[in-house]
Structure 1
Amino acid sequence: MSSEICPDNLLVIITRHFLTIPATGRKVHYRRCGSGPLLLMVHQSPRSSAEYSDLMQRWGEHFTCLAPDTPGFGQSDPLPETNGHEPEIDEFADALAEFAAALGVSRCAAYGFHSGGIILVTALKRHPELFSCLAVGGYAIWSEAEIALFGERYLPEWHPAPYGEHLTWLWNRMLEQSWFFPWFDLRDEARLSVAHADVTRVNQAVMEMLDAGNAYRVGYGAVLRAPRDIPPVDGDVPPCLITAYDGDPLQAHIDRLGDMPEGWRAEKVSTPADHQAASLSFLKEHAGEALCPDLAEDANEGWLALDRGLIHWRGQRGGRLVLHPPAAEMGEPQAGEIAIDLPGHGLSDGFDDMRSAVLATADALVSGSIDWSSLPPGDPAELYPDLTPDRYGTHLVKAWSAARAEALFEPWYAADKDHAIPLDPAAIGLAAIARRARARLRAGKSAARWHAILAEQTP
């Protein structure tokens, strides 16, 4: 919460917030960092605002960087269907304007990469008064042949499978998207010069896909189907810079843009750093000097800023603090309760001293007691397998296997008749397994550390 962070820390700490749109009840999650004029940052699909974390901290010297999760991605609610039809690009653009209005923003600069740029250009055409300028990284102008090539293959249905086989597909899909474009086109002509096997980057993209689920097809599909037209030459629109670097598959599309409005220009640059430098310079030149207004946020859910990170909480301030077991999800708080994601779990940051972080959270948010939760039975060395991401994505399958067995045995690793538990159809359902697996993946090594703290806490 921005009100709980000292101004000196605003350039180095990214705060996180929820805002419920009053007219629709749709919840939007956004990140904030920095000070100065407001810069709205729209991420690409199927990612989340987390992809801008490093950039926000650098650009926070010049702007108040504000990055929402677009509908259906990250922690933001999806847009509803209308008359049985999935939302299209106009609805995503209008949702962005609706979010800005609910925040209290009337005009701002904006930046978007790839599909984020498509959403922004569409929003600019529909709501030109909202923007002082745009900077866009790569703007797609697909040919009919390219659209035909993509077809439905680019956005296949993606659902949990009983034994976690969907996770094998997901890992390799996200791994190889930097190798070929489109990702399924295994031809030398489709190879990318920016290929990598960076486990951290791949895992981040995988975790974001786990958040979106099959709903990724809605937001991503709306972008792919969007009309590829920029404002007319005589359009009365704010200035815009479009750049694309060597290795970006959209760099060739710079030549397809055609004539542009006054104040618009497009350039090819050499590196991602050149793209970011050119974008920042353009934004600083055209953003104006208006400072960011006080921004709205929900009162019943958010993040508490401590010295070393953020703790995600939900519920009613002042009551009893309820803690969930290690490697599990936050429970739903009842009246008079507040629940948190344990440090290193869920949407909370990791802390070296987890117990102190919980106690500091209790001091800040509650006036009642702490429900520490019960100590899970079993050997912690078995309960919490190593889920460190690896080159082959095997950590995903480990998490799924453990989450599935949790519905069958207690402790889950003791697969014999003496440890079998009654079957609960809800617990063995694929959605429930998927939630438990994601909770384990998010917790990682923090789960075993919290188990040790509980063991010390238990008489």
Structure 2
Amino acid sequence: MIHPGKPTKFDIRRIFRARQNGGNFHVRTAGPGTSAPVLLALHESPRSSLSLVPLMGQISDRVRVIAPDTPGFGVSNRLNDRVTSLRDYAASLVELLDGLGLKKVALYGTHTGAAIACEFALHYPQRVSHLLLDGVPVFNPQERRAFANGYFAPYSPRWDGTHVMKLWSRMLDQAYWFPWHDRIPENEITRGDPNLELLNRTVVGHLQAGEAYSDPYALAVAYETVSAIRQLQCPVTMFARASDLLRPHLGRLPDTWTTFSLGDDRTEWGEFIAYRVISTDCDRMGDVPANSATRRFLRTDTGWLHAARATSADQSNGALFPAFLISDRSYHGDIANPWVVDPPGYGDSELRHATKLDAASLALSLEQASEQLEVTPPTIAPLSLAAARLLQQAPIPAPDLDGRHLLACWFAARNCLASRPFQRPLTTGSVESVFRLLFLAPRHREALNAIQQTATEAPELA
């Protein structure tokens, strides 16, 4: 048996939990090796549970953190019906907790996550030992109208690529003004030079969510936060850090309510949260099990690899080309429900920053994935080497202040499809799918070199 590398100091697992009506929750979880108090943590929009990794790093030595991607964001599938209320998101959390056998948890939410957490605590107070609201959204009627009329700009792919430049321009504007679309002196933010990596991660969140990115976002802006908090029947703590855009909103809460203004020191922030989780009577849990039959994350030496059953791959955000097919049957015969695995750094698979990816490390990670999928001996074959060779000519999308990395990716995607190795029509929608593949894989040349070297003796399936 080929064992993956040892977990890091604070070990984050990535799992899928199946939903009753189809689709999956993607969950990041971290905690001590033994049973610990459970904190259910909800992220802001349009991000994913990746934004909660710093919190996990501060408190997972004594708290079991369970951080799902909001449905429709990150790697979680959307809810089946179009969401019209934050209660729809709250109800989905009930299913998640029930499936894990958890009756009562501490609940943390930031920004949009804070609004969802508040709605959950309002309707299911018996499930919450303590509610922690980090950056409470309290918008007035005038701001709600202004947000509705301009803040939630639609993301509609255009052939000439102007949509990606508009998206990047919005990210830059949001680093200087809040709200970004109302560029007046009163809305200016003093933050120094913009953090390009952070802006890029926010763009990733937009791309993963697609055109529905604004659903929970808009509902959080419209949420009657003060009214909801007044009706709560569980302990609640409201706070914000110094750099939080919503810190001024603490001053909009009633004067008789206790709020906390924290500095930006992460250790102080983590201790503040951990103390309130440990001090409450919530359920305890060790590791969090996965239970999805259609999607899995597999721990390998190169990072977590995403795998999807071929029957469900087209419905997921991952399993895009280039990819590997792992099956227990010869490629010459019928392949029953094979697993499609995104290579390291592609689709939804990770590639650790410090990892050198070459043919040997890629082959090892695929063997480790096969063992966890219980496919032995496996047939491992690339789906399309022709696509991989062409994608290798595309640029590496390192963030630039002027957004040229986004535009370069868009035209690289157009050029790839124009060469027709993908057997897809050259449409704006098909270009968008290849563009997302390139943009979400910043080390794709390194990965593609390894894919081609590994696949020299393997059969190509497409």
Question: In the alignment, which residue of structure 2 is the partner of 1:341?
Answer: 342
Is 1:362 aligned to 2:370, yes or no?
yes
Question: In the alignment, which residue of structure 1 is the partner of 2:304?
Answer: 310
After TM superposition, give the deviation of residue 181 of structure 1 in Å.
0.8
Question: In the alignment, which residue of structure 2 is the partner of 1:297?
Answer: 291
Count of residue pairs brought into register by the alignment: 428
- Give 2:18's match in structure 1, choosing from 13, 17, 20: 20
Question: In the alignment, which residue of structure 2 is the partner of 1:208?
Answer: 205
Task: Mark the runs of 5 or more structure 2 residues left unpaired by the alignment.
Answer: 311-317, 328-334, 458-462
Question: In the alignment, which residue of structure 2 is the partner of 1:414?
Answer: none
In 1: Cα distance, 2:152 partner to 2:49 partner: 21
CA offsets 1:300-332 (integer angstroms, 9 cap, x no match): 32111124421111228xxxxxxx999636779
Mapping 1:32-431, distance limit 5 Å: 32-35=29-32, 36-81=36-81, 86-194=83-191, 196-231=193-228, 237-258=233-254, 265-271=258-264, 273=266, 274-286=268-280, 288=282, 290-292=284-286, 294-315=288-309, 328=322, 335-350=336-351, 351-352=355-356, 353-365=361-373, 366-367=375-376, 368-373=378-383, 375-376=385-386, 383-409=393-419, 427-431=425-429
After TM superposition, give the deviation of residue 196 of structure 1 in Å.
4.0
Change (3 A) 1:390 1:279: same
In 2: Cα distance, 1:65 partner to 1:184 partner: 35
Residue identity opposite 2:237 in structure 1: L
What secondary structure sits across from 1:313 in the alignment? strand
After TM superposition, give the deviation of residue 165 of structure 1 in Å.
1.2
After TM superposition, give the deviation of residue 205 of structure 1 in Å.
0.7
Query: Which sits farther off after the overlay, 27-36 or 328-337?
Result: 328-337
Query: Which sits farther off after the overlay, 58-67 or 300-309?
Result: 300-309
Question: In the alignment, which residue of structure 2 is the partner of 1:458?
Answer: 456
In 2: Cα distance, 1:409 partner to 1:170 partner: 27
Task: Mark the runs of 5 or more structure 1 residues left unpaired by the alignment.
Answer: 317-323, 412-420
CA contact 2:41–2:109 (8 Å) conserved in 1: yes
Change (3 A) 1:56 1:427: farther
Query: Which sits farther off after the overlay, 215-224 or 142-151?
Result: 142-151
In 1: Cα distance, 2:180 partner to 2:325 partner: 38
Question: In the alignment, which residue of structure 2 is the partner of 1:436?
Answer: 434
In 2: Cα distance, 1:298 partner to 1:91 partner: 21
CA contact 1:104–1:295 (8 Å) conserved in 2: no
Question: In the alignment, which residue of structure 1 is the partner of 2:315?
Answer: none
Change (3 A) 1:41 1:245: same
Question: In the alignment, which residue of structure 2 is the partner of 1:31?
Answer: 28
Residue identity opposite 1:358 in structure 2: L
What secondary structure sits across from 2:347 in the alignment? coil
In 2: Cα distance, 1:153 partner to 1:397 partner: 23
CA contact 1:427–1:433 (8 Å) conserved in 2: no
After TM superposition, give the deviation of residue 228 of structure 1 in Å.
2.2
In 1: Cα distance, 2:326 partner to 2:152 partner: 33
CA contact 2:438–2:444 (8 Å) conserved in 1: no
Question: In the alignment, which residue of structure 1 is the partner of 2:314?
Answer: none
Change (3 A) 1:376 1:143: same
After TM superposition, give the deviation of residue 455 of structure 1 in Å.
4.3
Query: Which sits farther off after the overlay, 117-126 or 194-203?
Result: 194-203
In 1: Cα distance, 2:93 partner to 2:320 partner: 36
Residue identity over aligned pairs, in percent, reads 26
Question: In the alignment, which residue of structure 2 is the partner of 1:416?
Answer: none
Change (3 A) 1:130 1:288: closer
CA contact 2:47–2:73 (8 Å) conserved in 1: yes
CA offsets 1:201-236 (integer angstroms, 9 cap, x no match): 111110110011110121211212222235566x56
More relative contact order, 1 or 2 (CA 8 Å, 6+ apart):
2
CA contact 1:244–1:251 (8 Å) conserved in 2: yes
RMSD: 3.1
CA contact 1:313–1:339 (8 Å) conserved in 2: yes
What secondary structure sits across from 1:305 in the alignment? strand
In 1: Cα distance, 2:369 partner to 2:14 partner: 16
CA contact 1:17–1:29 (8 Å) conserved in 2: yes
